[in-house]
Amino acid sequence: MQKKRDAWKSRLGVIMAVAGSAVGLGNFLRFPVQAAQNGGGAFMIPYFISLLLLGIPLMWIEWTIGRFGGGFGHGTAPGIFHTMWEKNRFIKYFGVIGIFGPLVIFIYYNYIASWTLAYAVFSAVGKYGTITDQGSMISLLRGFQGIEKNQYFSSMHYAYLFFIITFAVNIWVIYKGISGGIERLCKIAMPMLFIFGIIIAVRVLTLGAPDPSRPSWNIINGLGFLWNPDFGALKNARVWLAAAGQIFFTLSVGIGVILTYSSYLKKTDDVALSGLTAASTNEFAEIIIGSSIVIPAAYVFFGPNQIGHIAASGAFNLGFVTMPLIFQKIALSAFFGCLWFLLLFLAGITSSISLAQPSIAFLEDEFNISKKKAVVIFGIVSFILCQPAIFLMKHGAVKELDFWGGTFCLVFFATIETILFGWIFGIEKAWGEIHRGADLKIPKIYKFIIKYVTPLFLLSILGFWFFQQGIPTILMKDVPQADKPYVLGVRLMLLAMVLTLAIMVRVAWRKRAQRRHTIKTNL
């Protein structure tokens, strides 16, 4: 007998949960870096085009097919894809990507999120209070990560301790279930995140020029560095790919998480307005708050000559090196430093719990086992899988996991589900399903966009990524010779994960067929 599935308690709860999945570290670290490196304000042109033609359509597609599959007792892509194309017995195996992708991201994202909790504590106790230069702050980070031994850390015991704490929080929340755990956390964490973000943004935007001899080092010019457009950058295909990639990351589309979250909706629950609201909440966090903190603050204290190098140093250095140095230069430095890292931790934890849910739902729905048993199995397996990201980080393990889980799988999975939704399921049926119980009538132009523009856009991105990044990555062109054995080991682990999930899908469908046969026989 199929047990009753969990459900959201309120509409606000599911919107906050989906927004929590989308609002992550990328909103506050990755977005300003991408904008600064890709034409400043000009970057926002392909960004908004990608949002309208890619992000929002995919958001509606995933909310809709998730709710549709949930009506048949499926909360993950294999089952949902099967309900949409029952005549094809192979389509469910393509759905494996919707479990594999989030699981891969989970096993390294958790570790990164744990750094933010550690640095919140370091801020409060003054661990880096005497550090005044970037080189020393980088050494602190590398020592904490276990990449090197130095005066700050002789081992990675602290890093592992905070990883254990963060991992335990994840498991505890998902153990409490959809309404009792995820919904409850997101209803508290998301408002706190926005309050922290607004407080920090207001403080940054009210910064004066710290050096009277350099009046041009001010917040207006800092915002200008990020937003003044370099229209020549629009001729570069890399800028368009970067904008589309940021939309994937920022909305959590193409992962499989939204499918799972929306599968717990009722058949007549709205998805049109709810999906748009969740997307808008994320965009507010990214465009308004995310762009108002890191780059403008760095410009004020480090000036126009260094800001380009700082932006090019990457999201990790911005978050864990530049920002602590900035907060040390203002009043109440410990308070603002702690607030910054708590903001990042809340963004990280609401995202990481969403990444765990597809695996949990798969075990519950397709193998008909209890929530408790599913969480125990997931906890043990994912904990083991997390170890390469922790101990082999200096050998490129996290970068490798991020490419396959956080880049390739996103685009590939989104392409499959868009074609399945608009062409196999059928655009007329799909359009009716989107508007079932809808509180918003979507403009008809999106019927054309979903069927033609979005899949063409995705296929173009997939093609560009394959030839520009995919082939060199597959051939390990940029991997140092010493790291190649470790990267190969990570790839073998990922291959084993895909094959295991595919076998599990096959076993689950055989058991489902046997149950149906038994019921028919008994009748």
In this prediction, residue 523 carries a pLDDT of: 62
Name which of 452, 66, 51, 303 is nearest 295 in CA terms: 303
Q: What is the pTM of this model?
A: 0.93
- Asked, for residue 260, whether it belongs to a domain, the answer is yes
Residue 209 sits in a domain of what CATH number? 1.20.1740
- Asked, for residue 262, whether it belongs to a domain, the answer is yes
Mind listing the pLDDT tens digit for each residue in 418-471? 999 999 999 999 999 999 999 999 999 999 999 999 999 999 888 887 777 778
- Asked, for residue 478, whether it belongs to a domain, the answer is yes
- Asked, for residue 462, whether it belongs to a domain, the answer is yes
CB-neighbour burial class of residue 28 (10 A; exposed 0-12, middle 13-18, buried 19+) = buried
Is the model's pLDDT at 515 over the cut of 80? no
How far is residue 255's CA from residue 258's CA, in Å, rounded to a whole number? 8
Is the model's pLDDT at 1 over the cut of 60? no
- Asked, for residue 1, whether it belongs to a domain, the answer is no
Residue 395 DSSP code: G
In this prediction, residue 2 carries a pLDDT of: 54
Amino acid letter for position 304:
P
In this prediction, residue 361 carries a pLDDT of: 96
- Asked, for residue 365, whether it belongs to a domain, the answer is yes
Specify the range with the lowest mean pLDDT, choosing from 138-142, 230-234, 325-329: 230-234
Give the mean pLDDT of the chain: 91
Specify the range with the lowest mean pLDDT, choosing from 149-153, 310-314, 510-514: 310-314
Mind listing the pLDDT tens digit for each residue in 87-122? 999 999 999 999 999 999 999 999 999 999 999 999
Please state the domain count of the chain.
Answer: 1
Phi–psi pair at 235, nearest 5 degrees: -80, -10
- Asked, for residue 5, whether it belongs to a domain, the answer is no
Tell me which residue range forms the domain holding 61: 11-522
- Asked, for residue 394, whether it belongs to a domain, the answer is yes
Is the model's pLDDT at 60 over the cut of 80? yes
In this prediction, residue 164 carries a pLDDT of: 98
